[in-house]
Structure 1
Amino acid sequence: MKTSIATVCLSGTLEEKLKASAAAGFDGVEIFEPDFVASSLSPELVASTARDLGLTLDLYQPFRDFEGVGQEKLRQNLRRAAAKFDLMNRLGISTILLCSNVGTAVSADDALAVDQLGRLGDLAESYGVRVAYEALAWGRYVNDYEHAAAIVRAVDHPAIGHCLDSFHILSRGWDPAAIETIPADKIFFVQMADAPGLTMDLLSWSRHHRVFPGEGGFDLADFMGHLLRAGYDGPMSLEIFNDTFRRTDPFRTAVDAMRSLEWLQELACQALERDGREGSRMELSPLPTMVAPVGFNFVEIRADDHRLDQVRTTLHQLGFTDAGNHHSKPVELWSQGGARVIINRGDSTAGSPAVAALGFDVLDPELAAERAGRLLAPPVPRDRGAGDEQLLGVRAPDSSEIFFGRVGRGGVPAWVSEFGGSTEVTTDPLVTRVDHVNLAQSWEYFDAAVLFCTSVLALDPQPSLDVAAPTGLVRSQVMSTADGIVRLVLNLSPTGSADTAQHVAFASTDAIGAARRARERGLAFLPIGENYYEDLDSRFDLKPEFLEEIRELQLMYDRDERGEFLHFYTESLGSVFFEIVERRGGYRGYGATNAPVRLAAQHSRRPIVAAP
């Protein structure tokens, strides 16, 4: 599959965008006209720079407001087009994007559009270029790709064809199945974009909220299947208008973009396997197949040495046992049931406690690492001493480390034997495993984290949720396996807010028993105010003695049609805190109605910094 990206997707100068695209492994780029006009590079220098970087220049765009106009406007438009075609010859670009008219069309008569596009085709042919006509979702008279297809068919000119854009088709709810009726040689170019489901005007949605494939909610697998069965085998390009991407490092954004196209190839392969390959000509490189993780292997907490005692004490209060120090590395293991926490004391500059790495149980670590490499996840080097189990790791967009561990005999990983501490076996532990991990994400790379979890970890995105915090809304995106055994929660705080910390939730068979044990051992619970329990009493028909018990222990409660949820939190330890959860029945949520109370309680416990 030939990959391409529009320069509008990236921040920086035109030269920086070209370098970032090449570094990420793209085959070509679309030149977005404002990027070229603002550049100091001549057309010839742009062409030579791209050539030296190994990039083709695939499209010049956009050309706007051409068809459906009066005669004087047509004359002006043809003059404008001639200038652009001459520029394209200097750049070495053979295809231009023509958007359906939005601002200057005075007639809805298709016959007029056909005649005028035919004249444009004659002009384009004289310059040796092609025109890819695109139905904008907000076009004045042409906003449907099937309508555009009828016009192109009537024009019947070798220099006039289509640009198909997934956003313009799927945002309007058009059925992409009719793509298969368009002759392959008339599909000159394809632009791909995903988008979250939003209720707003199409122009604003398009200009500010497009994301890379795999980061939104469009059914791009179905779209790709129809496109490939139509016989298209040209560039697959990304055209993403997004305020965040235009403010972030272009090299990192380009890597995320390339990862999305690798993921798109997998979606395409799945669609062809499901619905048939007849007509498909594009050569695809499917990713190594990966089965989703079957559990958490470990969670690693990193901090400087003098702050780790707080973590140790809290884990002990929650019932964890010190399982000893590693025989060759400055790390220690704390465990309870199937929950394992690694404390890393090897970085004296680590600062306050934070989640530094996650390990996942996978059936084939080598295959998982190979897949992650194809998806441009940087490998994490790991010193391996004699007799150490191999742990293959990659770096996530937020710079945390992800490791793939083999499921051990009896569910215990082989690497546990590398720790020579207590052999004490906890019978009937109150904590059984890691239930979920909440990871705070920066605004720059939140969407990249969603794509990473989807493509690299094979986790499925669940409906996102906005949670009220004292400093604004926290966007919460759950990523999970189908069975819910592995759950990651990605949280995006309001810009400049520190309200969202990382936290690790442990599954318990008895949250009340775990709370009593923790209290006996001196745990500092996150205090929950009386108003919460009075509200709880009004919402649920709880037995008075049960309500009094959870009030006394500072537990929180939720219930849905499937079951019940009991949970409590520790105080924050730097940038991380712990949670104990008990799921009763089929409850699969996270106590979302309790989150604003928890966030407010944590906010109130933050140190107050005096104004200078």
Structure 2
Amino acid sequence: MKTSIATVCLSGTLRDKLAAAAAAGFDGVELFEPDLVAAPESPEEIRALAERLGLGLDLYQPMRDVEGVSPAEFSRVLRRAEAKFSLMQRLGMDTVLCCSNVATATIDDDAVSAAQLRTLGELAAGYGVRIAYEALAWGRFVDDYRRAWRIVQQADHPAVGVCLDSFHVLSRGHDPAGIADIPGERILFLQLADAPALSMDVLSWSRHHRLFPGEGAFDLADFTRRVLDAGYSGPLSLEVFNDTFRQTDPVRTARQARRSLRWLEDAVAARAHGDAAISADVALERLTPVAPPRGFDFVEVTAEDTSSVEQLLQLAGFTPRGKHRTKAVTLWSAGRARVILNEQHARDLAPHLSAFGLAVDDPEAQSARARELEAPQAYRRTYAQEHSLPAVVAPDGTQVYWAPASAGDPEWAEEFEHGDPPHPSPVVGIDHVSLTQPWQVVDESVLFYPAVFGLTPMSRTDVAGPRGLVQSRVLGTTDGAVRIPLNVAPPIVSERGLAGAADQHVAFRCDDVVTLAREARRRGLQVLPIPENYYDDLAARTDLRADRIALLRSLDLVYDRDEEGEYLHFYTQTVGQVFFEFVERVGGYEGFGAGNAPVRLAAQGSAPVGVAS
């Protein structure tokens, strides 16, 4: 299908926005009037620029407050409209968005609104223009698309139809089933936006918190399918008001937007499979299907000097599996958990989580899907006789690799030599990888991982830390094999010169975390100290026996439980910008001990750096 994006979605000048939309592969744009008013180029120059870029000018918007008004006010509407229709002729545009009245409406009468739209449509037709009438969610009298359609029916003019906007329908909880009653040829335009589930006034929600498809809580696949079922064959167009997107690089935002539509088209096609109701004129392109990852293949920590991380892993009982044949890279393992320490191209860099790998059923299909979504590729030099692992760069800069799932060591592990054979460990694998996101990319990440790798949004939690609110969104597989919490934290710099609130971490799953904690302490591992007050509170709010609380206290273990099971875990101290967590899940517990996070954050803010006594 053809795709379009409203210029209001992007930052920069109108020229910048058009160039970004074209570079991202959009077929057209909705021209937002304030962008044109502020542009130094003439309408003819904008038209020519769009033609050179291969962009259609699909919709001029918005024309506000055109119906439900007094005769005197409607005379002013017609004068304004004639000027806009003349401008649209200069631009070569044929469709204008007219919003339901929010400011000047004084007559709550469908017949009056219909008559005024009929007159407006007659004027528009003389300029070769169509009126796409939209019910704003905060319209004074008309705030429901079904009423807007009834008014259009009464207007009964070929130049007057409706515009359907997913936000205005879904934010008000209106039933989209009524879309089936609108003939496809009378749906003149479709605008799409996602949004988080918020409880606030709908105008503020709309103006500041819209998202691209797949980034929020709306079921846009269902909504879009209903519009296509009705016979609509115009472009899928994005109209997203968002404070973040209006501050970030327009080229990157446009690519993010285009990826969201590519994902949405696939999601709609998946639901419409075998459904003859969708018009034969609508070609929905599918993405290469992939199964969700089977688990984590490895995590990678990069630094100029990784010796401090090596020491930490050794004290935690990991086995050194050897050095890479050609690179300054070492491999450590415990159970099925593999940690790569990379000192290549890392001058002046403190230890940080730079990459992780996923075990997948079909690497070739995964690579094809990543290419189709135009995920930026990661590049690493590979020499002869070495395995080349495909990878992409996530929105936060983390590199994500994939390799065939295997029962034992992966094939690439053969490139590490002169190491020790693995020995038994309470660590069984990687439980989750927690990534702190820059504020401006978290929404993009929420779409990126599900779209590219088939992960599922699992939960959303806000944690009040000692230096500000930490917002966490968890993505993963439904079987728990992969869990990726994405955290947005305040950019706090500690006395040691590191952004402590932005530390990344890897959690290793254990079958006996108490034994691991004891053994690691005996080797000299310094774990993150937990204050006595925590254990006093734990005793007060749970029915744990005194001897069990004493055990937890002695090992600096923290504890959580729900109706399904228990969660025991402890943290290492931070090295550079990374720390490790060791967890044991008992029963069906699926959380992350969110109630313990403020204690951990406070302890990290005051703990000294170090791994050994």
TM-score (norm 1): 0.97
1:422 equivalenced with 2:422 (yes/no)? no
User: How far apart, CA to CA, are the structure 2 residues paired with 1:511 and 1:437?
Assistant: 18
Q: Where does residue 333 of structure 2 map in the other structure?
A: 335
User: Which residue does the alignment assign to 1:393?
Assistant: 391
Residues 170-216 of structure 1, C-alpha deviations (whole Å, 9 max, x = no match): 00111111112111111111000000000000000000000000000
For 1:231, give the aligned amino acid. G
The residue number in structure 1 matching 2:445 is 449
Classify 1:598/1:496 alpha carbon distance in 2 versus 1 (closer, same or farther; 3 Å).
closer
Distance 1:446 1:278, change over 3 A: closer
The equivalent of 1:575 in structure 2 is: 577
Partner deviation per Cα, 1:297-330 (whole Å, 9 max, x = no partner): 110100112xx11100001111111100111222
Write the distance in 2 (CA, Å) between the matches of 1:58 and 1:494. 40
Give me the whole-angstrom Cα distance separating, in 2, the residues matched to 1:178 and 1:154.
Answer: 17
**Match of 2:35, SS?**
helix
CA contact (8 A) 1:228 1:281 kept: no
Shift of 1:543: 1.6
Kept in 1: contact 2:319–2:422 (CA 8 A)? no
1:472 Cα offset (Å): 1.1
Q: Is the 8 A contact 1:224 1:271 kept in 2?
A: no
| Range 193-202 or range 362-371, more displaced | 362-371
Matched, 1:551 2:553: yes
Matches within 5 A, 1:168-567: 168-273=168-273, 277-279=277-279, 281-305=281-305, 308-349=306-347, 351-408=349-406, 410-427=407-424, 429-494=425-490, 498=499, 499-567=501-569
In the TM superposition, what is the alpha-carbon distance from 1:281 to its structure 2 partner? 3.1
Letter in 2 for 1:115: A
Give the aligned CA root-mean-square deviation in angstroms. Answer: 1.3
Q: Is the 8 A contact 2:5 2:238 kept in 1?
A: yes
One-letter identity of the residue aligned with 1:393: A
Residue identity (%):
54
Q: Is the 8 A contact 1:229 1:280 kept in 2?
A: no
Q: How far 1:495 sits from its partner (Å)? A: 5.3
- 1:440 counterpart letter in structure 2: T
SS of alignment partner, residue 391 of structure 2: strand
Following superposition of structure 1 onto structure 2, how do residues 61-76 of structure 1 map, counting pairs within 5 Å? Answer: 61-76=61-76
- For 1:599, the aligned partner's letter is L
- Tell me the matched-pair count: 603
Match of 1:120, SS? helix
- 1:105 is aligned to 2:77: no
- Tell me, yes or no, if the aligned pair for 1:443 and 1:495 is still in contact at 8 Å: no
Whole-angstrom CA distance in 2 between matches of 1:481 and 1:495 = 29
Q: Which runs of 5+ in 2 are unaligned?
A: 494-498
* 1:577 CA displacement: 0.4
Closer, same or farther: CA 61–278 of 1 in aligned 2, 3 Å: closer
One-letter amino acid matched to 1:500: A
Q: Please state how far the C-alpha of 1:596 moved relative to its aligned partner.
A: 0.7
- Would the alpha carbon gap of residues 489 and 344 (structure 1) be closer, same or farther in structure 2, given more than 3 Å must change? same
Q: Secondary structure at the match of 1:324?
A: strand
Given residue 385 of structure 1, which amino acid in structure 2 is its aligned partner? Y
Does residue 117 of structure 1 match 2:113?
A: no
Q: How far apart are the structure 2 equivalents of 1:24 and 1:218? A: 24
Structure 1 counterpart of 2:412, one-letter code: W
Q: 1:112-170 CA deviation, whole Å, 9 max, x = no partner?
A: 00100000000000000111000001101111101111111111111101110000000
- 3-state secondary structure, aligned to 2:273: helix
Decide whether the 8 Å contact of 1:228 with 1:280 is kept in 2: no
Output the CA distance in 2 between the equivalents of 1:463 and 1:336.
Answer: 29
- Asked if the contact 1:5–1:28 (Cα under 8 Å) also holds between the matched residues in 2, the reply is yes
496 and 2 in structure 1: CA distance in 2 versus 1, 3 angstrom threshold: farther
Runs of 4+ in 1 over 4 A off after TM superposition: none
Which position in structure 1 is the counterpart of 2:590? 588
Take 1:228 and 1:301, find their aligned partners in 2: how far apart are those partners?
47
- AA paired with 1:164? L
Is the partner of 1:420 in helix, strand or coil? strand
Q: Report the Cα distance in structure 1 between the residues aligned to 2:90 and 2:233, rounded to whole angstroms.
A: 26
Aligned AA (2:369): R
Q: How far off is 1:423 after superposition?
A: 4.1
Q: Does 1:88 align with 2:85?
A: no
- Cα displacement (A) at 1:276: 5.5
Tell whether the 8 Å contact from 2:60 to 2:93 is kept in structure 1 after alignment.
yes
Matched residues in 1 for 2:280 and 2:318: separation?
56
- Report the equivalent of 1:610: none
Structure-2 separation of matches of 1:211 and 1:274: 30
